[in-house]
Amino acid sequence: MLFRIVRKSLRQHIVSTTVTALAIALAAGLVMSVFAIQRQTYAAFTGGDIGFDAVLGARGSQLQLVLNTVFHLETSPGNIPYSLYKEIAGNAQVELAIPYAVGDNYEGFRIVGTTEEIFTEFGFRRGKKFQPEPGGRFFDSDAQEAVIGSFAARETGLKIGDIFQPYHGLIFDEKNRHNDDYTVVGILEPTNSPSDRVIWIPLDGIYRMSGHVLRGAGENYTAQTGETIPDEAKEVSAVMLKFKSPQAGMNLDQLINRQGKAATLAFPIGRTMAELFDKLGWVNRVLELVAYLVVVVAAFSILAGIYNSINERRREFAIFRALGARRPTVFAVILLEAVSVAAIGTLLGYCVFILIMWATAFIVREQTGVVLDIFRFEWALVFTPLLMIIVGAVAGILPALKAYRTDVAENLSPVS
Amino acid sequence: MGTVVFLPGNGSDPMTLLVENLKKNFASPDGSTQAVVNIDHFVLGNAEQLAVEGRSGTGKTTFLNLIAGILQADSGTIAIDGEEMSGLSESKRDVLRARKIGYIFQTFNLLQGFTALENVILGMTFGPGADEEFALGLLERVGLKNRADYRPRQLSVGQQQRVALARALANRPRLVLADEPTGNLDSRSAFESLELIREVSLENRASLLLVSHDRRILERFDTVTRFEDINRATE
């Protein structure tokens, strides 16, 4: 019967109950989202299997190098000589070395010049290689052909057989259009990785792009049609590396970063990204603080909603008492109401959580290609409801005390 | 002074209600203490039905509230069915009230958000526990079985009063207190309602203590006591 009393009361004050439950839903959804997003973005950017162990690039920031080559963000820190790529590719400790040359875009999607090995040898995830969708194929290294990531294809509308011109730089500006026609020969199946946002063309294509000048030899070199480009003139933006053993990475880290001065080796990639997240730890704390503040506001919403109704309900409590209900029973009814509103709100909070996660996943995917899993289990999804119910109970104490103190005789109907 | 009459019973039947040297004072606005109830001796026998007559403001409701344990007396004793109430804590008085006393209020005090059936079930919830079948039986007895799902505002005043009666009997009380139960009813409804209260109380072997200042109602009782005659505070 106590639950029936609580249910009736919540229904009788439906507006107040709804508003309070929505406040709780927002708070619960926010708290769950903040923690889920923190954990998932950290895992996606630092711990995910991306297929490479390290990145070799120009001397400078490892973070910038990783962001530019693995996540296709940021600008390139510079170029390294082609000879360095050949040297590292020939290193006995290196299993796979794939060069990247960047600096062009199409409709904002980055164009990466590379070799066929990105399709034939590279696994973007353990045991998984890039696959073209039916009807497509990988590019021919000697042709002006392009293979497009699934997301880039969807957003640009490019289909197999379409011809497009690259644009110089990272911004889609008509003034920077190259006079080179590229034919789309393949669209990759989705990989749920940053590679979905990339347009892949042959490395040679970057070298021969109209307006591109190579400085690998220290002097300007412009490729001529039909002419073989000497290796010493070539440069690459980065070399993506896979090692034969973890020890190889440590050896090369020692050799290149500590002893050498010509290049930077970002190894391990996960640690580089983790350092970024450590630097941005304050952002997480601010987000958590905001979420907890919303919880406090929601708690006050419960308190205010129920407390304000106590005055109108004094007669109701007096009747309960006159029928034999003890003071603790009246206290328990109010506390149960507060907990019930918190529980209802928390259930709705899962809807808020899904909405926030969906929106966040959409934005993160749009901007980085990294995919967040909306329905992945997080402990926050268990602890948050418990937290909200405790918050509801605590918020209900003050109104419950007020109901507890209701004077029966004073609040029953007029005396004779 | 009115006469208190007992229904004949055998010597082993306990008195349902025994009041001795009961006093209750309230603070006046000027800070002084005013006695509202000062009763030397009052009894109500097993299944007895007694009407108490008194003008408004003489302390009748306070008297009923003391018997029900809603108020605590300043001194004196109240025993319900041989169980001494006055020395009990508030919590224990609440329990005793839930088990042994039914109360019909002047304006019924039904809960508007609850149906007639739920109001009756509430009358037993804090005592013997909810028994929906018994509650429905009570509503049927008072002629409201077909109105079980109606809320108080959907019932006439007379119907609300009958729900209040059913609720007062829901916990199978030993004592029913009725405070001006017909005050809001027209004459015909008042008589019908009074007869129902008396019949159903008798059927359930509950003693009835009814307070009223309505002469038409009081005339229906064999035994009427003037409150001013037993309450020295109104002298």
Q: Give the whole-angstrom CA distance, residue B141 versus residue B145.
A: 8
Name the more confident of B235 and B215.
Answer: B215
Q: Which residues of A133-166 are buried (b: 16+ CB within 10 A; e: fewer)?
A: eeebebbeeeebbbbbbbbbbebbebebeeebeb
Residues of chain A with confidence (pLDDT) below 70: 47-48, 413-416
Helices (H) and strands (E) in chain B, counts: 8, 9
Nearest to A178 by CA among A243, A234, A236, A111: A111
Best mutation target among B71, B101, B111, B174 (most A Cβ atoms within 10 Å) is: B111
For chain A, how long is the longest CA-to-CA vector?
114
Give the model's confidence band at B235: pLDDT under 50 very low, under 70 low, under 90 confident, else very high: low
Q: Which of A326, A327, A412 sits opposite B109 (nearest CB)?
A: A412
Residues 6+ away with beta carbon under 8 Å from A412: A315, A318, A319, A322, B70, B105, B109
Amino acid at A209: M
Q: Which residues of chain B lie closer than 8 angstroms to A324, CB-CB? A: 94-95, 97-99, 126-127, 171
Q: Which residues of chain A lie closer than 8 angstroms to B54, CB-CB? A: 416
Q: pTM, whole model, 2 decimals?
A: 0.76
Per-residue confidence (pLDDT) for residue A413, from 0 to 100: 62
Per-residue confidence (pLDDT) for residue B211, from 0 to 100: 93
Token pair of B8 as six digits: 């004949």
Per-residue confidence (pLDDT) for residue B8, from 0 to 100: 35
Percent of chain B past pLDDT 90, that is, above it, reads 51
Complex prediction ipTM: 0.88
Rounded mean pLDDT of B62-90? 91
Backbone angles phi, psi at B20, to 5 degrees: -135, 130
Is residue B1 predicted with pLDDT exceeding 70?
no
**Can you name the residues that pair with B156 across neighbouring β-strands?**
none
Contact across the interface for B125 and A408, Cβ inside 8 Å: no
Is residue B52 predicted with pLDDT exceeding 50?
yes
Q: CB burial class (10 A; 0-12, 13-18, 19+) of residue B90?
A: middle
Contact across the interface for A11 and B113, Cβ inside 8 Å: yes
Contact across the interface for A319 and B109, Cβ inside 8 Å: yes
pLDDT tens-digit series, residues A202-237: 999 999 888 888 877 777 878 778 788 888 888 999
Contact across the interface for A415 and B68, Cβ inside 8 Å: no
Per-residue confidence (pLDDT) for residue A298, from 0 to 100: 87
Contact across the interface for B94 and A326, Cβ inside 8 Å: yes
**Can you name the residues that pair with A101 across neighbouring β-strands?**
A113
Per-residue confidence (pLDDT) for residue B152, from 0 to 100: 95
End-to-end CA distance of chain B: 12
Q: Which residues of chain A lie closer than 8 angstroms to B123, CB-CB? A: 323
Contact of A323 with chain B, judged by CB distance below 8 Å, is answered with yes
Backbone angles phi, psi at B151, to 5 degrees: -90, 155
Backbone angles phi, psi at B37, to 5 degrees: -130, 130
Q: Which residue has the tokens 């839930």?
A: B98
Q: Which residues of chain B lie closer than 8 angstroms to A318, CB-CB? A: 109
Per-residue confidence (pLDDT) for residue B10, from 0 to 100: 37
Per-residue confidence (pLDDT) for residue B234, from 0 to 100: 62
Task: Give A336 to chain B, closest Cα distance, Å.
Answer: 17
Helices (H) and strands (E) in chain A, counts: 14, 14
Is residue B188 predicted with pLDDT exceeding 60?
yes
Backbone angles phi, psi at B48, to 5 degrees: -75, 150
Task: Give A278 to chain B, closest Cα distance, Å.
Answer: 56
Q: From the CB of residue A223, how many other CB atoms can be counted at a distance below 10 Å?
A: 20
Per-residue confidence (pLDDT) for residue A416, from 0 to 100: 45
